[in-house]
Structure 1
Amino acid sequence: MAGMLILLPDSDYDPTESAVPWSALESAGHSVLFATPEGKPAYADKRLVSKGFGLLTPFLMTRKSDLACYGRMIEQPAFLSPLAFSDILPEDFEALLVPGGHAGGVKSLLENADAQRLVVDAFRVRKPVAAVCHGVLLLARSIDSDTDRSVLHGRKTTALTKSLELTAWQMTRLWLGDYYRTYPESVEEEVRRALADPDDFSSGSPLPVRDTETMRWPGFTVLDDHYLSARWPGDCHRFAAEFVNLVSAHIHSSETS
């Protein structure tokens, strides 16, 4: 059985959105592979890992339990020897996970043609695909040549909401500038444009309540067939558990068909 594949940018991804699903997959007995643009180890956004946000750290910083999970992830042999996007074939992976992040380095994933190809490959054969936050932008930009449309066209999804994005930006823009604005257009706006109907986008609760490993109900996800999406790090424990269930169902179906 091929491994579960996590796509990472050169740098600046969110540690929670990568490590919490990784840990859940590993705990469920799945082999996890990593891939980066050039096949070099890639590390998460330093501000989210160690630098913090001054007085806003309690609200914006990665939680200690999730940082501990990230610390375990980056010690793994598969993490330290990732594949390059361009070297991966469809048969090399069984499921695909795309975390997000908002600092500039994440663009090396979101704008990468080889990463977009992998997304199209996965959707064409209905492999489990999960994306969170800015990671959904990669899917919105992945155009299937058979339809000339995004793989999200006709799908229901969520992603980082405009409300969450602009709130974080307003809180920090006087001293961090556009740190929280990866692009001039919000994630939600671009994702909605890729959909068959803008109303196929779901925002969930406007209250930014984070879930935990033992209290998953505050998390929000959208499941559409083999595709699972979430909005931000605060959804990731629920997101991780549901992705494990999706992968397990896919494997069981493959073994019995």
Structure 2
Amino acid sequence: MEDPQIINPGTSIATPKVIIMMADYGHDPTETAVPWAAFKTAGYEISIATQNSQVPRCDNKMLQGVTQKLLSHQKQGATKDVVAKYKQMQQSEEMLHPLSWSAPDFSLDPYDLVLFPGGHEKSVRQVIESPTVHKLMLDYFPKTKKPSHKVVAAVCHGVMVLSESKDANGRSIIHDCVTTALPTRFEKTAYWGTRAFLGDYYKTFGHGSENVQESVTKALASPAQFKSSLNPGPFVVEDENYNYISARYPGDAVLFAEEIIKLFESFHKLV
């Protein structure tokens, strides 16, 4: 097998190396398993990292039981297809043997794509609030500036990992980027539509906390940089200056994965 062509140090575009950064529990199964399955089909090399190599589990409320059925009706819970993909992901080598993103020798440099899935279950705060992950992204994100072939992708609450990754002056790594994330109207609709039987389940930081859109927008140079659509159909945003792709919620997951793959295909065309 021929050696892949190296464009930038640590970046192989022949077989992209992906790392999915996860909390121990709580990520959205659609936003995790759909990109995972698409990258598997595309032949990408995939790794998963959690804080201390704990095998991650996605939000069980979205995967089974009464809550899965109720949330599916609201286009939030996992569909049968997603559940099947998630079960395959659970048995994968990368899921069963994740890396530790808190290990002293851990680095994101070997990877071509760093992916942050979303999820509103409170446990995902483990990655959103992690000083270690913030430090890793402060180092990695500038390396995605075009014409680099390194990529960062985030969906829903995953975008908050980036908005919360700030330098010593309090400037977020996506300060100058265009981005999307979970729109306030989507978040409020899900919250109030489930509050009677799930309490503040849909508020990651608890009842009364600011919405994701508000939190992300505050980290940008201008509110105009936050792009969104209230149409439930697929919607993603790609920045012009950085290889950064973002999406809003589970309904965007298929297009989100497709656009990431297209971006890597465009790198091949430049070789």
**Fold-level match, TM-score > 0.5?**
yes
> More helix by proportion, 1 or 2?
1
Q: Which moved more, 1:148-157 or 1:53-62?
A: 53-62
Residue 244 of structure 2: aligned partner: 227
8 Å Cα contact 2:26/2:120 also seen in 1? yes
* SS of aligned partner of 2:64: helix
* SS of aligned partner of 2:53: coil
**Structure 1: gaps (5+ residues):** 209-217
Matching residue within 103, 117, 122 for 2:121: 103
8 Å Cα contact 1:128/1:250 also seen in 2? no
Separation (CA, whole Å) in 2 of partners of 1:239 and 1:193:
24
TM-score (norm: length of structure 2): 0.85
Structural mapping, 1:1-257, within 5 Å: 1=12, 3-53=17-67, 55-59=70-74, 60-87=76-103, 88-126=106-144, 127-145=150-168, 148-183=170-205, 184-204=209-229, 206-208=230-232, 218-224=233-239, 225-250=242-267, 256=271
| Matched pairs, number | 243
Computed over aligned residues only, the root mean square deviation of the Cα atoms, in angstroms, reads 1.7
8 Å Cα contact 1:95/1:247 also seen in 2? no
Separation (CA, whole Å) in 1 of partners of 2:57 and 2:159:
20
Separation (CA, whole Å) in 2 of partners of 1:42 and 1:185:
27
AA of the residue aligned to 1:39? S
TM-score (norm: length of structure 1): 0.89
8 Å Cα contact 1:5/1:32 also seen in 2? yes
Task: Give the superposition deviation at 1:15.
Answer: 0.5
8 Å Cα contact 2:29/2:86 also seen in 1? yes
**Structure 2: gaps (5+ residues):** 1-11, 145-149
Separation (CA, whole Å) in 2 of partners of 1:191 and 1:181:
15
Separation (CA, whole Å) in 1 of partners of 2:216 and 2:20:
21
Closer/same/farther in 2, CA of residues 248 and 52 from structure 1, 3 Å limit: farther
Q: C-alpha offsets along residues 51-72 of structure 1, whole Å, 9 cap, x if unaligned?
A: 3425554223211111111111
AA of the residue aligned to 2:159? V
Task: Give the superposition deviation at 1:144.
Answer: 3.5
Separation (CA, whole Å) in 2 of partners of 1:56 and 1:13:
15
Identical columns (%): 37
Closer/same/farther in 2, CA of residues 252 and 112 from structure 1, 3 Å limit: farther
